[in-house]
Amino acid sequence: MNAINFSKITGNSTYLACATLFLLSGTHGTLHAWIANQRINQQVDEMRKKKNATNTIKTRVRSADEPKQIAQADVQITKTSKPLSKHKQKRKRRIEQAKKSGKTISTMNYDELKVTKDKHLARNDKIIAIKYVEQMIKLCEDVNQIGALMIELADLYFDTKELPKAEIIYTEYAHLYPGGADIEYASHRAILCSFYATLGSEHDQTKTYETIELADNFLQRADVFTTYKDDVTRIRTNCYERVIESEVTIFNFYLKTGHIISAQKRLDNLKKDWISKMPEVESQILVLEQELANKKMELSGEKPAEKKPATQTKPAETKKTEVAQTEKKKQSFMDRF
């Protein structure tokens, strides 16, 4: 086969040039091998083209069927998905309304915030109203109006059981407006928030001591704060009893485990700190002293003396009727939620 005939078969002028070189050099065997290799490459290229064309057809068919499959999947998701909760539905409506009006909390002026806040309060949506009141405080320039907004915000926190936040706002108002019209109301509400956060006698009593401190500060102005004076007095007495009961529990633990020195310190603190505040606890302290003396004799190997019956009941029992009103108020507050 000469170079011209080969170029006619392949239809490529490049092959003609390559074949001419092989013929001039006289390497016929190499020329035949090269021609066979080129034919194989052409067959491979044709197979690749056919395969790509087939894949393109399959892709087009799959793309045509995809909308039906997606629609069926959407129907299945719609059938199996759970309905939105009321809170999420409200949030969705708010977002849609904000998009339509083009207004958000951060872009509203003071009057717009007030109108929207009142709408939410009319629907008893206090959690959302809190956001608007917070923004109103930031924009307000009237000092007296800021005080009124602080009371409103604290009341909303109180009603939505955000007691730590409510206590902070009430206490801050009492510091910023010592002569304000709502000073007694705010101080009493701060005491209530602190009192409702106290724990039982078997737990830490830090919050109980904080409540006692707030009540002491309130009762120092008892000549002015007359509306809630009796209620605050009952709350403080209840806190006294809880702290004493906690101290007695710790004393009994030390006594039972044989820690005599620690038990003696607890008893000394009871006599020093609480007899002056609650004289009726003195009889209970006498009983505890007798128990401590018997424990000392028992540890030393002596026969303990007989226990003397207490002449009075524990303070927690004698004061149940006096704090009944406070407990009722506490229950009614929690029942509101």
pLDDT (tens digit per residue) in 177-233:
998 999 999 999 999 999 999 999 889 999 999 999 999 999 999 999 999 999 999
Asked, for residue 59, whether it belongs to a domain, the answer is yes
- 151-178 pLDDT, tens digit per residue, is 999 999 999 999 999 999 999 999 999 9
Asked, for residue 115, whether it belongs to a domain, the answer is no
Point out the domain boundary residue: 48, 79, 110.
Answer: 79
Greatest mean pLDDT among 8-17, 81-90, 284-293: 284-293
- 35-67 pLDDT, tens digit per residue, is 667 777 777 778 777 767 665 555 444 445 555
How many distinct structural domains can be found in the chain?
Answer: 2
Point out the domain boundary residue: 62, 79, 96.
Answer: 79
Asked, for residue 300, whether it belongs to a domain, the answer is yes
End-to-end CA distance of the chain: 102
For the beta carbon of residue 242, count every other beta carbon within 10 angstroms: 21
Asked, for residue 243, whether it belongs to a domain, the answer is yes
Asked, for residue 195, whether it belongs to a domain, the answer is no
In 3D space, the residue among 257, 253, 277 whose CA is nearest the CA of residue 267 turns out to be 253
In whole angstroms, what separates CA 286 from the centre of its chain?
Answer: 47
Asked, for residue 101, whether it belongs to a domain, the answer is no
Asked, for residue 288, whether it belongs to a domain, the answer is yes
The CA–CA distances, whole Å, from 69 to 56, 65, 78, 231 equal: 20, 7, 14, 69
Point out the domain boundary residue: 79, 113, 143.
Answer: 79
Asked, for residue 153, whether it belongs to a domain, the answer is no
State how far the Cα of 280 lies from the Cα of 96, in Å rounded to an integer. Answer: 64
In 3D space, the residue among 120, 141, 138, 235 whose CA is nearest the CA of residue 188 turns out to be 235
Mean of all residue pLDDT scores within the chain: 78
* Domain containing residue 28: 3-79
Query: Would you place residue 331 in the very low, low, confident or very high pLDDT band (cuts 50, 70, 90)?
Result: very low
